Amino acid sequence: MDIKSLFGEWIKTFSNKASFLSSKRIERFVIFSTMLLLTIVFLGKGIFECSILATDFAIVVTLWLGLAGFNTIQGRKDKNGEADKPE
């Protein structure tokens, strides 16, 4: 896939046309990448300063488990078709 077709697929995500990329995939990728980067920075800073505690690991694990739960719930809604229904 070249840059031109990738850009075209990205533009299609903002329209009603079918696209290889979906806004859900992009959203989940951005959230995952941000969480991963923040985890690396947060734990790396604590390790290099020798000031990391068990509570720091508990904070990180809690956030990752929360993200996993959110992704599981969203996946089930997508599979059941509930994501498109108004609440």
pLDDT for residue 82? 63
Tokens 């790396």 found at = 44
Quick one: which of 38, 44, 87 has its CA closest to 64? 38
pLDDT of 83? 56
Contact 28, 72 (CB under 8 A): no
Every domain of the chain and the residues it spans: 21-78
What's the average pLDDT block by block, 10 residues per block, for the chain (87 residues)? 78 72 76 91 90 90 92 84 58
Note the pLDDT of residue 4.
84
